[in-house]
Chains A and B, each alone.
Chain A
Amino acid sequence: MLSSLAGVLFDGFAYGMLLFLLSVGLSVTLGMMNFVNLAHCSFAMVGAYATFSLVGRHGWPFLATLPMAFIAAAVISVILERTLYRRLYRASDLDQCLFTIGIVFISIAVYAWFYTTEQQSVQVPDWLKGAQHVGAMSFANYRIFLVVIGLAITAALVLLVERTRFGAQVRAAVDNQRMARGLGIDVDRAFMFTFALGGGLAGLGGALSIQMVGLDPTFALAYLVYVLIVVAVGGLGSIGGSFAAAVVLGISDMAGKYYFPWLGAFLIYLVMVALLMWRPQGLFGKR
């Protein structure tokens, strides 16, 4: 009983780490620029297919492709931000939604064209397969790996935002953009880097998720709902909020499936509704 509880908590936590990586970038850009970027998961898909191509077609080791997934998604997101997104910063929410959902469909079609609609997988090193068995409990190696990466990135992000000059600029821009501009902070530049960072993290999350959930061109749409839930529950612009929300949702999803399977994946939505009724601005949201 206790061992199954530990297993559920651990699996849910690992799943939460994946959700966190996928969604933290969106939370920050949404909080900073009020830009509704529904194409965020398309960046995740860019990273995922980068890893798939390098491992499957060029024989790179899996780990070495992870930074490339980050870079590929970051570069693509900056290009799109500079050429397309910035034109819509002052547009209405509806315009932004329509524009970015259009990008989602284009990205699905483009990847279906180049990579076909086939379900893809990657080969991970043997030490990431299988599981560690402690008594009656078993911890999958890949999930341990996810937890380690997730925690490391959270720590790095917190340090970056709390301790560096760049982080201070980003925080200032999120809190009060006009004041930040008035103080001479180059908000556009800060936003570009944040956007690249967010896109890159999504790309990394996408690459890491292939092993858990597979990869096909509908990826850009399939996980959008989960990412939006994490952002809404966590509160806009908050790294800690995204982290907490992702963990809560990951664990409640897993626990729901284990203890109340007839509720299926529905529990995650109940948790979302309950949390948002309690705190409409999200767990750590400021506005």
Chain B
Amino acid sequence: MLRTSFVLAAALSAFSVNAQQTVKIGMPLELSGQFADTANQMLNGAKTYMKEHGDTVAGKKIEIITKDVGGPAPDVAKRLSQELVVRDNVDILAGFALTPNAMAAGDVSAEAKKFMVVMNAATSAVITKSPYMIRTSVTLPQVMETFGTWAATKGGIKQSYTMVTDYGPGHDSEAAFQSAFKAAGGTIVGSVRFPVANPDFSAFVQRAKDISPESIFIFIPGGAQPAALGKAFAERGIDLKKTKVLGSGETTAEAALKSMGDNALGIITAWHYDYMSKVPLNQKFVKEYQSVANGRNPDFFSIGGYDGMHAIYEALKKTKGNTDAQALVDAAKGLKWESPRGPMMIDPETRDVVQNVYIRRVEKVAGELVNVPFDTIPMVKDPAGERRKTQK
């Protein structure tokens, strides 16, 4: 028995010399449940990058191993990350649609010293959980504070009423928008929070209408809710020419625009990516993506996955295939590239994403509803990350 296991161990170690030629990326994803769509879009983004650039970098084959977390479940995300590291011997952890899952996996990355790429989870503090972590998506303060400042200055808006979903990202966006808006001279005339599972918005919209504010700021998760909210605006008779509606990119994402129809005309949003962007790099990406994802269009989850893979590939090129976490994170710091979303960079100090924030308005272009960008705030750093720096 003992001898066989020796032989086995020898065989295994011989095999692992071969296995060294593979870089394994472990992705604990929310592949089933309420956030299945988010995770699938992100995974398809990563796959699109691998299809475009091949699955070999610096002489090593890239292999993705996915596990299903099943939804917002930090304990499961942590256990699966541990399994990926211990049992599947992954070199890199990547993915993470949801903040709680990314937070939990961050501990694993820090303890096991594994390079970790957050491809979505947008709460600012996620990045502090591991020194080996980078983020290629977006942070909420990055967009929302920028938007608040823009609205009160260039946007020429004096007062706003905020409506956000009653969960972490909603609270963060509410705080970020309100503080930046007030700091730039605007006033908040009221605020309301919707429950997370909320099929019908008309009562909340009626409340906002009673106050008749100059503008309404919205933050709600993507999916069914933006469309339902848009319809409630139309039904309650809120005129988007008189009351400006401000929101995040999710408010006017593809599915939302489709089901809101012309009700969406005039909504102003701040975001970092739109699949309709006419930049040639993006058009090429969208085409590739559709072939990977059975005709689906990419969204901001997809671009997070796509750029996340880019960061992994570029970092591996720099380290010549060395998967040591410190080497990889050092290589990723300061990476600059031209993404389908526009120019972006990994901040060498905070390891967080630096990118353009686009201010867009929903308009009809050739019979189709499109988020048309009309202002750009270039290369925005995460303001919350900047504040953490000065606190230290």
Q: B255 contacts A121, CB within 8 Å?
A: yes
Q: A119 contacts B235, CB within 8 Å?
A: no
Q: A138 contacts B37, CB within 8 Å?
A: no
CB of B227 within 8 Å of the partner chain: yes
The interface-forming segment of A25-33, A34-42, A92-100, A208-216 is: A208-216
- Per the bound structure, the CA–CA distance linking A265 and B227 in Å amounts to 19
Give B33's nearest chain A residue, CB to CB.
A218
Using CB atoms and an 8 Å cutoff, list the residues of chain B in contact with chain A. 32-34, 36-37, 40, 166, 192-195, 197-200, 202-204, 206-207, 210, 222-225, 227-228, 231, 234-237, 255, 258-259, 261, 263, 294, 296
- Per the bound structure, the CA–CA distance linking A62 and B222 in Å amounts to 25
Q: B198 contacts A254, CB within 8 Å?
A: no
CB of A90 within 8 Å of the partner chain: no
Q: B224 contacts A258, CB within 8 Å?
A: no
Give A223's nearest chain B residue, CB to CB.
B199
Would you give the shortest CB distance from A65 to chain B, in whole angstroms?
16
Supposing A117-B37, A119-B223, A121-B255 touch, asked if A214 and B206 sit within 8 A by C-beta, the answer is: no
Supposing A4-B210, A15-B200 touch, asked if A264 and B193 sit within 8 A by C-beta, the answer is: yes
Supposing A118-B296, A216-B224, A264-B166 touch, asked if A4 and B193 sit within 8 A by C-beta, the answer is: no
- Of the candidates B32, B40, B202, B228, the one whose C-beta lies within 8 Å of that of A214 is B228
Chain B CB count within 10 A is highest, among A7, A11, A123, A257, for A257
- Of the candidates B32, B194, B203, B261, the one whose C-beta lies within 8 Å of that of A11 is B203
- Of the candidates A112, A138, A212, the one whose C-beta lies within 8 Å of that of B236 is A138
- Of the candidates B199, B225, B235, the one whose C-beta lies within 8 Å of that of A131 is B235
**8 A-B pairs with least C-beta separation:** A214-B224, A121-B259, A140-B235, A257-B203, A258-B203, A264-B195, A117-B37, A265-B195
Sample of 18 A–B contacts (CB below 8 Å): A7-B206, A116-B40, A117-B40, A123-B261, A130-B235, A131-B235, A133-B237, A211-B231, A212-B228, A214-B223, A214-B228, A216-B37, A218-B33, A256-B203, A258-B204, A264-B194, A264-B195, A265-B195
Using CB atoms and an 8 Å cutoff, list the residues of chain A in contact with chain B. 4, 7-8, 11, 15, 109, 112, 116-123, 129-131, 133, 138, 140, 142-143, 211-218, 222-223, 253-258, 261-262, 264-266
Chain B CB count within 10 A is highest, among A109, A140, A266, for A140
- Per the bound structure, the CA–CA distance linking A8 and B209 in Å amounts to 13
Q: B203 contacts A255, CB within 8 Å?
A: yes
Q: A112 contacts B227, CB within 8 Å?
A: no
Q: B200 contacts A129, CB within 8 Å?
A: no
Supposing A121-B259, A214-B224, A266-B195 touch, asked if A254 and B235 sit within 8 A by C-beta, the answer is: no
Would you give the shortest CB distance from B305 to chain A, in whole angstroms?
15
Taking CB atoms, residues of chain B closer than 8 Å to A143 are 235
Give B236's nearest chain A residue, CB to CB.
A138
Q: A11 contacts B202, CB within 8 Å?
A: yes
Taking CB atoms, residues of chain B closer than 8 Å to A218 are 33-34, 36
Would you give the shortest CB distance from A250 to chain B, in whole angstroms?
9
- Per the bound structure, the CA–CA distance linking A4 and B209 in Å amounts to 10
Q: B198 contacts A265, CB within 8 Å?
A: yes
Give B263's nearest chain A residue, CB to CB.
A129
- Per the bound structure, the CA–CA distance linking A256 and B195 in Å amounts to 12
Give A265's nearest chain B residue, CB to CB.
B195
- Per the bound structure, the CA–CA distance linking A221 and B343 in Å amounts to 41
Q: B237 contacts A131, CB within 8 Å?
A: yes
- Per the bound structure, the CA–CA distance linking A205 and B365 in Å amounts to 35
Give B260's nearest chain A residue, CB to CB.
A121
- Of the candidates A109, A118, A131, A261, the one whose C-beta lies within 8 Å of that of B207 is A261
- Per the bound structure, the CA–CA distance linking A212 and B227 in Å amounts to 9
Q: A131 contacts B234, CB within 8 Å?
A: yes
- Per the bound structure, the CA–CA distance linking A86 and B224 in Å amounts to 36
- Per the bound structure, the CA–CA distance linking A216 and B32 in Å amounts to 12
Give B39's nearest chain A residue, CB to CB.
A117
Taking CB atoms, residues of chain A closer than 8 Å to B199 are 212-213, 223
Taking CB atoms, residues of chain A closer than 8 Å to B225 are 214
Q: B228 contacts A213, CB within 8 Å?
A: yes
